[in-house]
Structure 1
């Protein structure tokens, strides 16, 4: 039976927590909304492509892909798509509000 080094495990957890808490700084000169929206859509597309590739690999019987990996990738793709869909709905609502304003 292998022995777990608790101090090493705690150090790894602290490191991961710090990394998860670090958010990239947003610079003022890169505030192009269209570029940010395109990047978000590309990110969702990449998540869906990754999910499809993992599913296809699992279906063909590759031993390096587990069912858990496939399900997690699928859920990540679904959640990111649903988030993008909600952003789109909010943008459409905002557009309708602006267009219905009297001039």
Structure 2
């Protein structure tokens, strides 16, 4: 399960790196803050430079959904006998979507557990 969490974290970092590439194209070197995320770009307020947790989570969920849709489309193409959809590609896409979904469920479970831990803290 630690590998699946690492996979989700690497996907989140990839999304952050994609946002940082905008600065590289403009000729600015991306900087990192103390938490390892991209810092604010010069001339922009910090909130506009990095995505919120909700946006990052939404992007990760959209990626999982896209993987599941892609696997379903490949499976249907294989069932129809289309030439580009061989069994190996269908199985790999199905496994990728399954791993992504399991990682998402694990992240959700960790978030729920963290929320419950915070709510049960004594004042």
Superposition TM-score, scaled by structure 1 size: 0.74
* Gap regions ≥5 residues in structure 1: 1-22
> Once the 2 structures are TM-superposed, how far is the Cα of residue 56 of structure 1 from its aligned partner?
0.2
Moved over 4 A (4+): none
Give the structure 1 partner of residue 58 of structure 2: 38
Task: Give the corresponding residue for 2:38.
Answer: 27
d(CA) in 1 for partners of 2:122 and 2:112?
18
Question: Over alpha carbons, which structure has the higher Rg?
Answer: 1
For this pair of structures, how many residues does the alignment match? 81
* Bigger helix fraction: 1
SS at match of 1:64: coil
Unpaired segments ≥5 residues, structure 2: 1-13, 21-36, 40-48
Moved more, 30-39 or 41-50: 30-39
Q: How does 1:41-52 map to 2 (within 5 A)?
A: 41-52=61-72
Distance, in Å, in 2 between the alignment partners of 1:35 and 1:42 is 10
Larger RCO (alpha carbons 8 Å, 6+ apart): 2
Of the three residues 43, 68, 72, the one matched with 2:88 is 68
CA root-mean-square deviation:
1.3
**Which deviations, in whole Å up to 9, do the C-alpha atoms of 1:23-74 show, x marking residues without a partner?**
6354233141000000000000000000000000000010111100000000
